[in-house]
Amino acid sequence: MASAIVEHATNCEKENVRPVVNFSPSLWGEQFINFSIDYELAEKYSMEIQGLKNEVRSMLKAPGKDMVEMMNLIETLERLGVSYHFEDEIEELLERFFNLNANYADEAYDLYTVALHFRLFRQHGYRISCGIFEKFIEENGKFKETIKSDARGLLSLYEAAYLRVHGEDILEDALAFTTDNLKSMAPHLSSPLGKQVAHALVQSIHFGNPRIEAHYFITIYQEDESSKNELLLRFAKLDYNSLQMLHKQELYEVSRWWKELDLVTILPYARDRVVECFFWAMGVYHEPQ
């Protein structure tokens, strides 16, 4: 009886032995461990960024600017990835504009503007009704034919539709309508709008990593000769490079800590993916503060 129990226990132990998987090594090697920050360049970036930041803050606080112009500025700052510098100023503007109760049924507000304002308000937690899009609906419940050729407006509505909540049928229809029309016109659009449409159809801005989306929009923005602001473009590039240096410095610290723990040897059955883990955390919280 005793021998049978021992034999059974031995068999269980053999059954519980799991084979060690030969995971591929980290793609990054010693890249970040060997990183050395250029403090002189970092200080130079910091000084210029501070000066440009003051100029942008003055733009946000400039008197006499109308709502449409300021909302476009807020959108640009957010897409360039620098809005975190001006959270208080942006919230103050959005609250003031929301309380104006603008009449979006007015013809002065085109599809691009209405959809942009809707998206910005919802992104910041304001309860704005999807009823503002009813002006673009025919009596038969379909979207008007006149907006089918408005690529910029359709793209704005497409991104706004992703902020719908349950029961907002007009935005459900808007997503299907804009997706179909943007797909058909995308091959015929010129850059940079064509690139934006193609990118959005693959992945909405709401689903992207903020830093990757910022990098992408910077490249698009600098091609837009009709609307780009050189001050904002310079500010965005410097801020992106400065944050990139900070993230590399953090990766240096994390990679060195990981190597000192020697978990790759101690836990051979675990994947060596510390850089990837850092990357996903950065997607949630990339701001230096």
Q: Which domains does the chain have, with CATH numbers?
A: 102-226 (1.50.10.130)
Q: List the alpha helices (DSSP H) in 124-229.
A: 151-161, 169-185, 193-202, 210-221
Residue 6 has pLDDT above 70, yes or no: no
Identify the helix (H) or strand (E) that includes residue 26: none
User: Pick from 217, 214, 234, 243: which is nearest to 55 by CA?
Assistant: 234
For residue 208, give the DSSP letter. Answer: S
pLDDT reported for residue 268: 79
* Rounded average pLDDT over 227-251: 95
For residues 242, 210, 89 and 62, what is the CA-based torsion angle, rounded to 10 degrees?
80
pLDDT reported for residue 225: 84
The rounded Cα 163 to chain-centroid distance in angstroms is 14
Lowest mean pLDDT segment, chosen from 31-35, 111-115, 247-251? 31-35
* Rounded average pLDDT over 92-99: 97
CA 46 → CA 5, 76, 105, 207, 252, distances in Å?
A: 71, 21, 45, 30, 21
pLDDT reported for residue 31: 84
pLDDT reported for residue 286: 77
With tokens 């990757």, the residue in question is 212
With tokens 């053999």, the residue in question is 14
SS3 143: strand
pLDDT digits (tens, 9 = 90+) for 74-87: 999 999 999 999 99
